[in-house]
A and B are shown apart, each in its own frame.
Chain A
């Protein structure tokens, strides 16, 4: 049986450095190429030596697909393509292609310039890497080679995020990347058609969470921000430059407008304006409402939100600051956090998931004394709030997507093992499909049952498909070569092989007692058969013979006995059943005429 093999190099029972190898019908595809925020050593990148020990990656992989621009999905790409060496195609959507290099450059700067690491990819490498990228449209079928095709579906989550269908012949896999099943203030919901893949590889960040309605969360968020600002506190919201940031900005912008608030809102880093610009230019990727109204009012032009300057952090009085990065693991958000952590009037709101090992994760798990660089201990007195705004599908959403796509198997990645286990059981119970959750480096094999396409002669198809939908097809495949099967009618097969048909004919003599004249006997036989064989064409021909379909019945008088008539029933082997039946029937004699 053919099988699909899946091996996560990252994101197997874990969140971070997503990288999943898929082998399907002889094709090898790498899904995402991310980095891990929780590590600063070798473990931050997937172990590409797993793919091939000696050979070139380009020879082994048919293509690489990047689902969206978050670094845990694309952060290792320049390392992979330029330092390990891969020259094949890399596919991503247009917005991802636009934004990805900027985030990579940002990441490079933090790592090399600030932390002073060497042996890291360079700006030039990012550029060279991006040259290998082929941008894809939503729903476009991209023919990677003759057999392998991929297709992107809208995934919500962040601007340009996509789910990908990978298809070879009848076999297919869908990889969701990160997705969101509920539309938010700036993006739409993920959507896929009933494509019935053999395997659905789904993220499961919120495998056990069922989130309350978005409105409640938003109200909660606004209330907390408002209260803090009212009592003169400062609010820090660590975000990634693109994604949640825009949603929360829209939220605060409209709230400030409505409540006529005066406290300043800042957005850190130069990326901001640029980021908003991307949203403006790729507005077709946002949700319906924003797209409809953008001519009158572009939602990404903010009145109340201004650029942040480092000096502002020490300003007295209330303020709200969006700062990057989102998990408080480095950069400006961490700097501001250190400044404000000591004051209980202040608040930090974590609007998204934090990977283990980051400061964000530590404070969310209740740690209040943090060991910073240089053995310094930072005491956190400010309020720490967690509010799930990250646009991942929750358990309900994941189930919904499975219902939409109707996969034959499900495989979970990008989540924590314990939570996955729970969801796996739920999926198996509800959908009666197998569910896998391989750890990193572990391979899951999924058996498939692909059908085999053949060419059928049109005449044969029409003959079989029309009158009797359940007719049996006698057919043949000449010539028999694995590349091209053809199904033709037996007649054509014989003709193509240069063979003549051998006709096998039977003629049976059936004796009937009937003193009447021959033509009267024939008429009686005719009426009798017509009465019985309602579904067959029974005809009385002018030459005195009867046909039942293609079976011929003729009557002659017995040479010796005038009271006996001999019926000659003649049929070919192809009418064997009917011929045999008819002779048996006639042998029983004719009913008494009334």
Chain B
């Protein structure tokens, strides 16, 4: 079974029940909910604080403390909250393991591990954990350093929410929205992670083996194979076939899957990442040449490494050598440092550099030559060094918290400045809404290196899964481009779709299981050729099951009954262990059978023909033996020695299985 706990196709959270293990696949946190909130300014913002309260159509003002209006949009004036994965669909304390595919898909981890009674293990690669920690640290830091007295909850009332304008009216499960976790919770959650390497086979309870594979999307990003001896589920999440900094995607290992779960495709299927990078550079150069500043809202890791590398090659030729680049984030330094030490997780070119030994990313040189400077925040050293025009990379891409809020307020009023959106996770128009009206230029260059639909169909042709399972969003064209039937997953049989809070039965069935046979038992087997080319050996053995591993062993010798107890009570004799008798096959030729009976001293044998066979009568013993092609029936008096004798005579004619 598969339980879908997140409706966001690129921030998935699914639970798979596979061979009595419960496996959570990713732990994505849907942060688009924060777009409904007002930004958290680092410095008191007169503009934001003067926004009018929202008034209902009937003039009632009871919500004007919680909701503010800005350029026709309504925002919640409160600490931003996140939309968690579904927690009611199944008991999350029964989850045995959580598999993380990349650092963007683990942001809900503290909510799951710290609040649901989860006692299992989380598996992730080292870069995923380290960079995931940085992302969480930045998130917690940027929310905690702007304490907000107010926590709005009235608007969440179902009756009230109904009255609100879109998109607040349509927001799902607002009562489940939660505030950000704290650093102690992050640390507790991360301490439950066990580090794994690509192609490492991890045994879960002896029943299931999981293996992370390189997915090519980010440092340490992985797809997962979940398999037993006879079923294979591939979990493809956030993969890329483009050559950027991470190790290329491992496709071969995905072959022969019974089920392939496909998530984390590109969010901007119509944009070509290479073209977007080019546009990014030219817009940046143009703005700076005109004396304006460039703001790049971004995550502290990931695409920023590639952007810095492009700029490294571009700035001299574009005459930007004297323009300062600032990277502002509480984790900026860590992110830049960490990127240089994961040689084993990088693409081949970068690995070769490390062998020289040189730092794999050229931002080391940008830092050395003072072209790129990094600061934990706008406070402190930055305010002394700050020179304009400049380029600032900072978070958060939602524009709701982090240092980016400050730069939006600072630079928004001048048309010389440009904000360039590169992260695809948030609609840039929604992100900008609380800053309207804006004079600064806005450029949208989303860079999403994840698989597009053409690559998906190529991949599926290549790896040939029996079934594909994906979020429902991928089974139809995007709502805004309903004619683009090329923008959906096409495969045969059609992909099975899932949606939030839905349970799906995955179509795998198996007929066999692997067990092991002890060598001494194997030695004792006598193969018998039943038909030409087909041999067979019957096995009588004891099955030992331990840690979900099955081993066949020789049956123990039956213990000799103690000789001292001569007379036993009847109830002691109750056959204890159901020792199964073999199945019989063959038929009994009546003439030979009669001969055999006579040889064994039955003198008064009489044979009668019946419709289906024969009846053999032993008159003196009042015994009747019905012989038919596929059955024999011995009807006799309660004379055990006689019965046993007849039984053994019959058995002589039959094959045993």
Give chain A's interface residues, CB within 8 Å of chain B: 94, 97-98, 135, 137-142, 151, 170, 274, 277-278, 280-284, 294-295, 449-458, 461, 464-465, 468-481, 485-487, 490-491, 493-494, 497, 499-511, 532-533, 535, 573-578, 580-581, 583-588
Closest B residue to A98 using CB positions: B355
Interface residues of B in 628-647 (CB under 8 A from A): 629-638, 640, 643-644, 647
The verdict on B550 contacting chain A, using a C-beta distance below 8 Å, is: yes
Interface string of B543-557 (1 = CB under 8 A from A): 101000011100100
How many chain B residues touch A (CB < 8 A): the figure is: 91
Q: Are B536 and A281 in contact (CB under 8 A)?
A: no
Of all chain B residues, the one with the shortest Cβ separation from A278 is: B357
Bound Cα distance A491, B634 (Å):
23
Among B335-393, those with CB < 8 Å from A are 337-338, 340-344, 351, 354-355, 357, 359-360
**Are B579 and A469 interface neighbours, CB within 8 A?**
no
CB pair A504–B584 under 8 Å, yes or no, is: yes
- A464 CA to B541 CA, complexed, in Å: 11
Cβ-defined contact, A137 with B197, below 8 A:
yes
CA–CA, A137 and B346, complex, Å: 12
Identify A141's interface contact among B199, B570, B582, B584, CB under 8 A.
B199
Q: Determine whether the beta carbon of A457 is less than 8 Å from that of B511.
A: yes
Q: Which residues of B contact A583 (CB under 8 A)?
A: 638, 640
B599 CB-CB contact with A under 8 Å:
no
Min Cβ gap A277→B in Å is 4
Q: Are A465 and B555 within 8 A (Cβ)?
A: no
Q: Which residues of A contact B632 (CB under 8 A)?
A: 502-505
Does residue B561 face the partner (Cβ distance < 8 Å to A)? no
Given A98-B357, A137-B198, A480-B527, residue A577 in contact with residue B579 (CB < 8 A): yes
Query: A284-B126, A504-B647 in contact; A532/B633 too (CB < 8 A)?
Result: no
B640 touches A580 (CB 8 A): yes
Interface string of B508-523 (1 = CB under 8 A from A): 0011111111110010
Cβ of B651: which chain A residues have Cβ within 8 Å of it? 504, 573
Q: Is B657 a contact of A281 with CB atoms below 8 Å?
A: no
- In contact, B537 and A480 (Cβ under 8 angstroms): yes
CB-defined A-B contacts under 8 Å, sample of 14: A140-B197, A281-B360, A449-B519, A451-B517, A452-B516, A457-B512, A468-B577, A472-B541, A475-B539, A477-B527, A481-B535, A490-B538, A573-B651, A574-B581
The answer to whether B640 touches A454, judged by C-beta atoms less than 8 angstroms apart, is no
Contacts of B650 in A (CB 8 A): 504
Q: Is B562 at the interface (CB under 8 A from chain A)?
A: no
Name the residue on A nearest B574 (C-beta). A533
Within 8 A of A (CB), among B452-479: none
Chain A residues with CB under 8 A of B573: 581, 584
- If over half of B's interface residues share one DSSP class (helix, strand or loop), that class is named, otherwise mixed; here it is mixed
Asked if B201 CB lies within 8 Å of chain A CBs, one says yes
> Given A455-B514, A573-B581, A585-B570, are A473 and B199 also a contact pair (CB < 8 Å)?
no
- Please report the C-alpha to C-alpha distance between residue A151 and residue B631 in the assembled complex, in whole angstroms: 57
Cα–Cα, bound, A465→B337 (Å): 53
Q: Chain B nearest CB: distance from A542 CB in Å?
A: 25
Contacts of A587 in B (CB 8 A): 638
Q: Is the CB of A475 within 8 A of B517?
A: no
Q: A141-B199, A477-B536, A583-B640 are in contact. Are A493 and B519 (CB under 8 A)?
A: no
> B541 to chain A: which residues have CB within 8 Å?
472-473, 475
CB contact between B341 and one of A281, A479, A502, A506 (< 8 Å): that residue: A281
- The docked-state distance in angstroms from the alpha carbon of A140 to that of B351 is 17
* CA distance in complex: A170, B535 (Å): 25
Nearest CB of chain B from residue A3's CB, rounded to whole Å = 13
Residues of B within 8 A of A151 (CB): 200
Known: A295-B334, A469-B545. A478 touches B581 (CB 8 A): no
Question: Does B566 lie at the interface of the complex (its beta carbon under 8 Å from any beta carbon of A)?
Answer: no
CA distance A468 to B544 in the complex (A): 11
Q: How far is the CA of A141 from the CA of B513 in the complex (A)?
A: 22
**A588–B573 Cα gap in the complex (Å)?**
14
Q: Are B357 and A497 in contact (CB under 8 A)?
A: no
Q: Taking CB as reference atom, which chain A residue is nearest B654?
A: A502
Cα separation A95 to B574 with both chains bound (whole Å): 68
A475–B584 alpha-carbon span in the complex (Å)? 13
Residues in B with CB closer than 8 Å to A502 are: 584-587, 630-632, 654
Assuming the contacts A98-B355, A458-B511, asked whether A501 and B197 have C-beta atoms less than 8 A apart, the reply is: no
Residues of B within 8 A of A278 (CB): 357
Contacts of A480 in B (CB 8 A): 527, 529, 534-537
The 8 closest A-B pairs by CB, nearest first: A480-B535, A503-B631, A451-B516, A137-B197, A490-B583, A455-B512, A490-B657, A475-B539
Chain B proximity of A487: nearest CB distance (Å): 7
Q: Is B276 an interface residue (CB 8 A)?
A: no
Residue pair B341, A284 in contact (C-beta under 8 Å)? yes
Q: Which residue of B lies closest to A291 (CB)?
A: B341
* Cα separation A98 to B356 with both chains bound (whole Å): 7
Provide the residues of chain B in CB contact with A578, threshold 8 Å: 575
Docked CA distance A499–B528 (Å)? 15
Cβ-defined partner of B571 (8 Å) among A139, A455, A532:
A532
Contact A451 B518 (CB under 8 A): yes
Chain B residue numbers with a CB within 8 Å of A486 are: 512
CA gap between A461 and B536 in the complex, in Å: 19
Q: For the complex, give the distance between the alpha carbons of A588 and B343 in Å.
A: 83
CA distance A94 to B247 in the complex (A): 14
Distance in Å: Cβ of B632 to nearest Cβ of chain A: 5
Q: How far is the CA of A458 from the CA of B344 in the complex (A)?
A: 41
Please tell me if the beta carbons of A493 and B640 are within 8 angstroms of each other in the complex. no
B580 interface contact, C-beta 8 A: yes
Knowing A468-B578, A479-B533, the reply to whether A494 touches B570 (Cβ < 8 A) is: no
Interface flag for B542 (CB, 8 Å): yes
Q: Are A508's CB and B637's CB within 8 A?
A: yes
Q: How far in angstroms is the closest Cβ of chain A from B180?
A: 23
**CB neighbours of A464 from chain B (8 A):** 543
* Residue from B357, B545, B630 in contact with A281 in the complex, judged by beta carbons closer than 8 Å: B357
Binary interface encoding of chain B residues 80-107 relative to chain A, with 1 for a CB under 8 A from any of its CBs, else 0: 0000000000000000000000000000
CB distance from A288 to the nearest CB of B (A): 12
Taken together as a complex, chains A and B put the C-alpha atoms of A592 and B126 apart, in Å, by: 78
> A281 near B340 (CB under 8 angstroms)?
yes
Q: In the complex, A474 Cα to B541 Cα: how many Å?
A: 7
Residues from chain B with a CB closer than 8 A to the CB of A479 are 533-536
Determine the distance from Cα of A102 to Cα of B645 in the docked complex, in whole angstroms: 84
| Bound CA–CA A580/B638 (angstroms) | 10
Q: Which chain A residue has the least Cβ–Cβ distance from B588?
A: A502
Most chain-A CB neighbours within 10 Å: which of B198, B545, B586, B638?
A: B638
Let me know if B427 is at the binding interface, CB within 8 A: no
Distance of A57 from chain B, by nearest CB (Å):
26
**Contact A476:B536 (CB < 8 A) given known A490-B583, A577-B579, A581-B574:** yes
Interchain CA distance A84-B635 in the complex, whole Å: 81
A135 touches B633 (CB 8 A): no
| CA distance in complex: A378, B530 (Å) | 85
Given contacts A135-B344, A281-B354, A469-B545, contact A532 B200 (CB under 8 A): no
Cβ contacts under 8 Å, A487 to chain B: 515, 539, 552
A453 to B575, CA, bound (A): 33
Q: How far is the CA of A465 from the CA of B543 in the complex (A)?
A: 7
**Closest CB in chain A relative to B438 CB, distance in Å:** 36
CA distance A464 to B359 in the complex (A): 59
Nearest chain A CB to B204 CB, angstrom units: 14
User: For the complex, is B267 an interface residue (Cβ under 8 Å from A)?
Assistant: no
* B635 surroundings in chain A (CB, below 8 A): 506-509
Alpha-carbon distance A128/B541, docked complex (angstroms): 55
Task: Name the residue of chain A whose CB is nearest to the CB of B342.
Answer: A284
User: Chain A nearest CB: distance from B523 CB in Å?
Assistant: 10
Give the complex CA separation of A387 and B579 in angstroms: 68
List which B216-265 residues lie within 8 A (CB) of chain A: 229
Residue on B with the closest CB to A581? B575
Shortest distance between the CB of A100 and any CB in chain B (Å): 10
Residues of A within 8 A of B211 (CB): 141
Q: Contacts A281-B343, A452-B522: A506 and B579 contacting too (C-beta < 8 A)?
A: no
Residues of B within 8 A of A140 (CB): 197-200
